[in-house]
Homo-oligomer: A and B are copies of this chain.
Amino acid sequence: MSGEFALLATSGAARRGALTTAHGEVATPCFMPVGTLGDVKLLEPRDLHEIGTTIVLANTYHLWLRPGGDTLAAAGGLHRFMAWDGPVLTDSGGYQVFSLESRRTIDADGVTFRSHLDGSEHRFTPENVVAFQEALGVDIAMALDQCIKLPAERGEVEAAVARTSAWAERCRAARRHPDRTLLFGIVQGGLDEALRARSAAELVALDLPGYAIGGLSVGETREEMDRIAQFTTVLLPANKPRYLMGVGTVRDLLAGIDRGIDMFDCVYPTRSGRHGRVLTRRGREYNVRNAAYARDFGPVDEDCDCRVCATYTRAYLSHLFRSGETLGQRLLSYHNVAALTDLMCGARAAIEQDRWAAFRDAFVKAPATDSEKGEV
């Protein structure tokens, strides 16, 4: 049944699970590529299926503005619009709206904001954000939260936690299709453990189908992120999926899985790919534009068996990037998403076989400079 989360195996704190959604099962831990506007930049659904992507992320704020709910409803929902038949998660847009700063005013009922595109005025409430996501037919909807900029005064963080809890409760009450569209809550609380604990407790009391850790990966140090992610993860129910938002480097994915996170999303693999940056299966990163690769006829990642690595060479990718040929951006976006997806696949197998620690440590121990030639 949609919303069911089966915990199939554990290895240390790492978890191997399966989340049932209206558009299929999501094996966890999983990485969700970001398709903000209804497309994962430069990749087609066929590419994502090939790569082994099971679930993609889109964004309420951006889709609300363009193409808008009426067009998406007329299209028969977001899945049909973007020609993707697998699960979709939409972020609530809270993060985007609050980052508009001078362009938005918040009140107890909701938030009024001006579009970054044309200055037109719009309003989000917990209720209309849930209704929008349900109308899109997405599999997982995020509750409208208040994400604040760090560092912040304790009082400001506390108010954001209170508002996020109140809005999550209203989101919960506003649902019309709770089985088709699973509502996830987002824990806030900045870098303050007491407030993180309060936020988690208030949201857990709502018995939602899943929980996310929000407000991280927004400029704090890596140590702060690790500390708060660790502190918060264990406050979340073991029988529900746990989602760490905005995280997508090999190092951070491994650290997240290690503490019991099930889901991740990040623009990093696609954005870095568009800039020539290669993420490798073993965690090394390099820029393929580097002169050292101009006559390197090996694959971009020796440890990867994705279609791009099986077909093209570093020299060809290097040429495409140096020549400004956009095909290079497509090919590296493909490889980078494949590398993280494959990492997740390996992690799931390792957890099933209770050899997670060895799997994790193989990455930590792999020399970062393995086969490097002049990093960027």
User: Taking beta carbons and an 8 Å cutoff, which residues of A are in contact with B?
Assistant: 37-39, 41-45, 66-67, 70-71, 74-76, 81-83, 294-295, 297, 311-313, 315-316, 319-320, 322-323, 325-327, 329-331
> From residue A261, how far is it (CB to closest CB) to chain B in Å?
29
B325 x A37 contact (CB < 8 A): yes
The answer to whether residues A311 and B83 also contact, given A71-B295, A295-B74, A329-B326 and a CB cut-off of 8 A, is yes
Q: Kindly list the 9 A-B residue pairs having the minimum CB-CB distance in the complex, ordered from nearest.
A: A67-B319, A39-B327, A37-B323, A83-B311, A39-B325, A74-B295, A71-B295, A42-B327, A66-B323
Closest to A76 in B: B297
> From residue A166, how far is it (CB to closest CB) to chain B in Å?
33
B330 x A297 contact (CB < 8 A): no
Cα A44 to Cα B327 with chains together (Å): 8
Contact of A71 among B38, B70, B315, B327 (CB under 8 A): B315
> From residue A268, how far is it (CB to closest CB) to chain B in Å?
18
A316 x B82 contact (CB < 8 A): yes
> From residue A78, how far is it (CB to closest CB) to chain B in Å?
11
The residues of B that contact A320 with a CB separation of less than 8 Å are 37, 39
The residues of B that contact A38 with a CB separation of less than 8 Å are 316, 319
The residues of B that contact A315 with a CB separation of less than 8 Å are 67, 71, 74-75, 81
The residues of B that contact A325 with a CB separation of less than 8 Å are 37, 39, 41
Closest to A274 in B: B326
User: Can you list 28 residue pairs at the A/B interface with Cβ under 8 Å?
Assistant: A37-B323, A37-B325, A38-B316, A38-B319, A39-B325, A39-B327, A41-B325, A42-B330, A43-B327, A44-B327, A66-B322, A66-B323, A67-B294, A67-B319, A71-B294, A71-B295, A71-B315, A75-B297, A75-B313, A75-B315, A76-B297, A81-B315, A81-B316, A81-B319, A83-B311, A83-B316, A326-B326, A330-B330
The residues of B that contact A326 with a CB separation of less than 8 Å are 41-42, 326, 329
Contacts A39-B325, A41-B325, A71-B315 known; 20 new A-B pairs at CB < 8 A? A37-B323, A37-B325, A38-B316, A38-B319, A41-B326, A42-B326, A43-B327, A44-B311, A44-B331, A66-B323, A71-B295, A74-B295, A74-B315, A81-B315, A81-B319, A82-B316, A83-B311, A83-B316, A326-B326, A326-B329
